[in-house]
């Protein structure tokens, strides 16, 4: 399992234009909660990270039209730096450092040099000219000649992006076909397929883990299984040779004597269930080390959003995955310590990030007001008291 | 009618403040009501008054004691409700919260200096009183009550068994007063929990708490002073 973790990310696009958008520097630790007033760029910041993961993935290939990244990773104590600028769909700058050593460089024409490992020889920088519409770190992936590129690939494969305000697979049933493709556990809508895969690989221990987490967040269930949807029937052509089964997730709530399928489960409950299925699977299969969750707690009540946050923070700490969440929810904010907060502030198209590290005095002062965390945002405390901060 | 509102962190404070005001007011025509504030998200925020002796127009003084259900909620709820309470004719809001478990004894000076930062100075006065380290320090200090819990619980016995003197020592230096109180009661096989606080409130000597204990407890001195000031008839000053 990759231990590579994001340290920070800077991003900009359309500099100097009316649509200029700049994320100054987003410093990241193990657990991170992005907060900010509406339209400060919380979701967009998360999307920037998710897009980077897609860019660095070889299948399916993904490309942006414009944008500039400067990203630091920690790879078991070694700092990796990846810089990328894309203009009009072409790479105009790409650079990759391992520690202080530059191993890849491409200039405005897309040409450059890359460290190449050859059997029996010292690694050397070799000139190259990949297609300008492609990222060199993706198309030159080769575990023998450029083994260091695998680290970025591993990170991209191990990143999951959940949008909590969406159904997370509630409206998708699965058709079980012999010899059909495996569920893609990077697709957060494939809850049924991922549950089946996890149940096959880990059996009762997986199911018990999900039931335990659901109970902890206030949805007590004592049954969790794949079932045929009760009220939906697959209509096949009369001459069809296939006879696929239609499947979905069914739960039995404590105290009730019947299983209900996912079409009957409430939206909020299914979101929580889907996410816990996927996070537990990632944890057991060691398949994810960066989990992005947009709008965590959306649609859940106070107790459940609070408990969901507690479960996720505990899992991040047990499994050492990086957790990056956004929220507008006061109870989520009140339950995440201020040292895990990243406060996004927008001025025009420029997003500034304040956290405990860069605004320590203000965060400490706030703690002593005795107010709950949400008030830091609500009262605009960081701006109102900025003059007292030294060195910001 | 004069109106005063308390925003307190828990049930112990509700019972204590209610009894203290009742004792100080004596024959004054005071209506005291209890309530709580909770919710604010999927559950709509509720400010509920629960014991409902509704204030009649003949009532001269009205006091509302709201349980905010958590130390960190006291300042927050005051900030949230400050404007509406100002509009409802209250003359002052008073918050009461413990120092522990969120803060240490060494944090007190900074807390005292910073607690008011969240308060809107353009509205009616709002003060936050810090119980050091917990409100139970005042219960400990009213040491005559121990023998009313159990005759075997004399100050001498507590001194010899637990090594501190609740009658004359500085109870604001005790780091966990509620645990101390439980330890004292345990000497006689009794228990103290937040759920059993009414049993303790019932046997506290509120004359002593009002007249003598404020000299020993800064928080109590502030609280008594606010209540005295509220219950004093308005004086018309002429130049």
Strands A159-163 and A290-294: parallel
Residue B206 pLDDT > 60, yes or no? yes
The encoded tokens of residue A122 equal 């010292």
Asked if pLDDT for residue B53 goes beyond 60, the answer is: no
The pLDDT of residue B46 = 64
pLDDT higher than threshold 50 for residue A391: no
Mean pLDDT computed over B89-101: 95
In chain B, % of residues over pLDDT 90: 72
A255-270 pLDDT, tens digit per residue, is: 888 999 999 999 999 9
Distance, CA of A271 to CA of A166 (rounded, Å)? 8
pLDDT at residue B93 tops 90: yes
Split at pLDDT 50, 70, 90, the class of B194 is confident
Tell me whether residues A375 and B71 touch, CB distance under 8 A.
no
Residue of B nearest to A332 (CA): B41
The minimal CB distance from B117 to the residues A334, A369, A374 is found for: A369
C-alpha B39/C-alpha B44 separation (Å) is: 6
pLDDT score at A182:
87
Region B204-209: mean pLDDT is: 96
CA–chain centroid gap for A353, Å, is 19
Per-residue H/E/C for chain A: CCCEEEEEEEEEECCCCCCCEEEEEEECCCEEEEECCCCCCHHHHHHHHHHHHHHCCCCCCCCCCCEEEEEEEEECCEEEEEEEEEECCEEEEEEEEECCEEEEEECCCCCEEEEECCCCCCCEEEEECCCCCCCHHHHCCECCCECCHHHHHHHHHCEEEEECCCCCCCCCCEEECCCCCCCCCCCCCCHHHHHHHHHHHHHHHHHHHHHHHHHHCCCCEEEEEEECCCCCCCCCCCCCCCCCEEEEEEEEECCCCCCEECCCCCHHHHHHHHHHHHHHHHHHHCCCCEEEEECCCCCCCHHHHHHHHHHHHHHHHHHCCEEEEECCCHHHHHHCCHHHEEEEEEECCEEEEEECCCCHHHHHHHHCCCCCCHHHHHCCHHHHCHHHCCCC
Give domain limits for chain B: 2-132+217-230, 137-201
| Closest by Cα among A28, A32, A24, A23 to A4 | A28
Nearest-CA residue of chain A relative to B99? A370
B71/A370 CB distance under 8 A: yes
As its CATH architecture, domain B2-132+217-230 has 3-Layer(aba) Sandwich (3.40)
Test B72 with A334 for CB contact under 8 angstroms.
yes
Are the Cβ atoms of B76 and A330 closer than 8 angstroms?
no
Q: In the prediction, which pLDDT does B49 show?
A: 65
Q: What pLDDT is recorded for position A379? A: 72
Q: Does B43 touch chain A (CB under 8 A)?
A: yes
Per-residue pLDDT tens for A273-294?
999 999 999 999 998 889 999 9
- Global ipTM: 0.72
Q: How far is A371 from chain B (nearest CA, A)?
A: 5
pLDDT band at B56 (very low <50, low <70, confident <90, very high): low
- Nearest in space to B224 (alpha carbons), one of B96, B132, B112: B96
| 3-class SS of residue B67 | strand
CB contacts of B8 in chain A (<8 Å) are: none
pLDDT of residue B40: 58
Report pLDDT for B58.
67
Interface residue ranges in chain A relative to chain B, Cβ cutoff 8 Å: 299-302, 305, 329-331, 334, 365, 368-372, 374-375, 379, 385
Largest Cα–Cα distance in chain B? 62
Collect all residues with Cβ–Cβ distance below 8 Å to A23 and sequence separation of at least 6: A9, A10, A11, A12, A41, A44, A45, A48, A351, A353
As a whole-number percent, the residues of chain A with pLDDT over 70 amount to: 96
**Which residues of chain A have a CB within 8 Å of the CB of B41?**
301-302, 305, 329-331
Q: Which of A49, A59, A58 is nearest to A26 (CA)?
A: A49
Taking each helix axis from N to C terminus, what angle separates A267-285 and A302-319, rounded to the nearest 10 degrees? 10
CB contact under 8 A, B79 and A379: yes
Task: Compare A240 and B201 and report the one with higher pLDDT.
Answer: B201
Residue A197: predicted pLDDT: 95
The stretch B113-130 carries a mean pLDDT of 90
Of A331, A368, A375, the CB nearest to B111: A368
Q: What is the pLDDT of residue A380?
A: 75
Q: Does residue A386 carry a pLDDT above 80?
A: no
Task: Mean pLDDT check: name the lowest of A143-147, A262-266, A327-331, B124-128.
Answer: A327-331
Question: To the nearest whole percent, how much of chain A has pLDDT over 90?
Answer: 72
Which pLDDT does position B55 carry in this prediction?
Answer: 53
Which residue, chain included where needed, has tokens 């997003």?
A: A351
Q: Which of residues 198-227 of B touch A (CB under 8 A)?
A: none
Which of A296, A328, A365, A371 to mutate to probe the B interface, most B CBs <10 Å? A371
Chain B residues with beta carbon closer than 8 angstroms to that of A165: none
CB atoms within 10 A of CB B90: 22
Q: Which residues of B touch A385 (CB under 8 A)?
A: 117
- The reply to whether residue B42 touches residue A300, judged by beta carbons under 8 angstroms, is yes
Q: Over the stretch A173-216, which tens digit does the pLDDT of each residue have?
A: 888 877 888 889 999 999 999 999 999 999 999 999 999 999 99
Residue B73 C-alpha, separation from nearest chain A C-alpha, in angstroms: 6
pLDDT band, residue B236 (cuts 50/70/90)? very low
Mean pLDDT confidence for A126-140: 96
Closest Cα of chain A to B66: distance in Å?
A: 17
Residue A378: pLDDT band by 50, 70, 90 thresholds? confident
Alpha carbon of B115: minimum distance to chain A alpha carbons (Å): 4
Question: Inter-chain contact A302–B113, Cβ cutoff 8 Å?
Answer: no
d(CA A163, CA A181): 24
A302, A330, A334 member nearest B43 (Cβ): A302
Average pLDDT of chain B is 89
Q: Is B129 within 8 Å of chain A by CB?
A: no
The predicted structure's pLDDT at residue A334: 87
pLDDT for A303: 85
- pLDDT value, residue A75: 95
Q: With contacts defined as CB-CB under 8 Å, which chain A residues touch B118? A: 369-371, 375, 379
User: Minimal Cα–Cα distance from B149 to chain A, Å?
Assistant: 34
Smallest Cβ–Cβ distance between A375 and the set B103, B111, B118 belongs to B118
Confidence of residue A223 (pLDDT cuts 50, 70, 90): very high
């Amino acid at each position: 399992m990759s231990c590579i973790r994001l340290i920070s990310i800077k991003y900009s696009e359309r500099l100097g234009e009316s649509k200029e958008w700049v994320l100054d520097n987003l410093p990241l630790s193990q657990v991170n909660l992005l907060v900010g007033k509406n339209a400060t760029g919380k979701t967009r910041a998360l999307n920037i990270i998710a897009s980077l993961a897609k860019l660095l993935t070889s299948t399916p290939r993904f490309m942006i039209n414009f944008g500039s990244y400067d990203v630091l990773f920690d790879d078991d104590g070694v700092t990796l730096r990846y810089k990328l600028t894309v203009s009009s769909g072409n790479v105009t700058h790409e650079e990759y450092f391992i520690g202080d050593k530059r191993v890849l460089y491409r200039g405005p024409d897309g040409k450059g040099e890359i460290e190449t490992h050859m059997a029996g020889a010292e690694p050397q920088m070799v000139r190259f000219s990949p297609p300008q519409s492609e990222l060199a770190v993706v198309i030159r992936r080769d575990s023998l000649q450029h083994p260091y590129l695998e680290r970025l690939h591993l990170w991209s494969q191990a990143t999951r992006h959940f949008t909590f305000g969406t159904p997370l697979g509630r409206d998708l049933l699965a058709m079980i076909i012999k010899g059909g493709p495996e569920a893609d556990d990077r697709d957060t809508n494939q809850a049924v397929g991922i549950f089946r895969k996890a149940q096959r690989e880990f059996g009762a221990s997986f199911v018990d883990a999900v039931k335990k987490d659901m109970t902890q967040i206030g949805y007590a269930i004592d049954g969790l299984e794949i079932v045929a949807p009760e009220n939906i029937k697959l209509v096949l052509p009369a001459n069809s040779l296939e006879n696929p089964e239609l499947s979905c997730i069914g739960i039995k709530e404590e105290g009730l004597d019947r299983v209900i399928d996912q079409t009957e489960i409430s939206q909020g409950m299914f979101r929580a269930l889907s996410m816990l299925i996927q996070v537990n699977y990632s944890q057991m299969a060691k398949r994810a080390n960066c989990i992005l969750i947009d709008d965590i707690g959306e649609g859940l009540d106070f107790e459940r959003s609070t408990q969901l946050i507690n479960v996720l923070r505990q899992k991040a700490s047990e499994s050492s995955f990086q957790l990056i969440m956004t929220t507008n929810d006061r109870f989520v904010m009140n339950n995440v310590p201020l040292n895990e907060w990243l406060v996004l502030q927008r001025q025009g198209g420029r997003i500034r990030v304040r956290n405990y590290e860069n605004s320590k005095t203000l965060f400490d002062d706030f703690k002593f007001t005795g107010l709950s965390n949400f008030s830091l945002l609500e009262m605009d405390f960081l701006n109102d008291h900025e003059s007292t901060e030294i060195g910001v | 009618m004069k109106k005063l509102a308390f925003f307190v962190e828990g049930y112990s404070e509700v019972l204590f403040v209610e009894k203290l005001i009742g004792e100080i007011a004596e024959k004054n025509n005071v209506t005291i009501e209890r309530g709580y504030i909770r919710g604010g998200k999927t559950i709509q925020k509720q400010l509920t008054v629960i014991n409902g002796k509704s204030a009649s127009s003949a009532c001269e003084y009205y006091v509302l004691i709201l349980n905010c259900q958590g130390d960190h909620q006291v300042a927050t709820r005051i900030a949230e409700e400050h404007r509406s309470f100002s509009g409802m004719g209250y003359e002052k809001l008073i918050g009461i919260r413990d120092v522990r478990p969120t803060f240490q004894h060494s944090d007190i000076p900074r807390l005292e200096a910073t607690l008011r930062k969240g308060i809107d100075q353009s509205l009616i006065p709002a003060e936050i009183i810090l119980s050091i380290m917990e409100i139970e320090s005042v219960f400990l200090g009213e040491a005559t009550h121990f023998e009313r819990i159990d005759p075997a619980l004399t100050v001498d016995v507590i001194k010899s068994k637990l090594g501190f003197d609740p009658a004359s020592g500085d109870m604001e230096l005790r780091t966990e007063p509620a645990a101390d109180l439980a330890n004292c009661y345990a000497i006689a096989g009794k228990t103290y929990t937040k759920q059993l606080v009414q049993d303790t409130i019932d046997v506290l000597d509120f004359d002593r708490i009002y007249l003598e204990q404020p000299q020993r407890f800064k928080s109590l001195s502030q609280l008594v002073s606010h209540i005295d000031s509220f219950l004093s008839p308005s004086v018309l000053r002429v130049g």
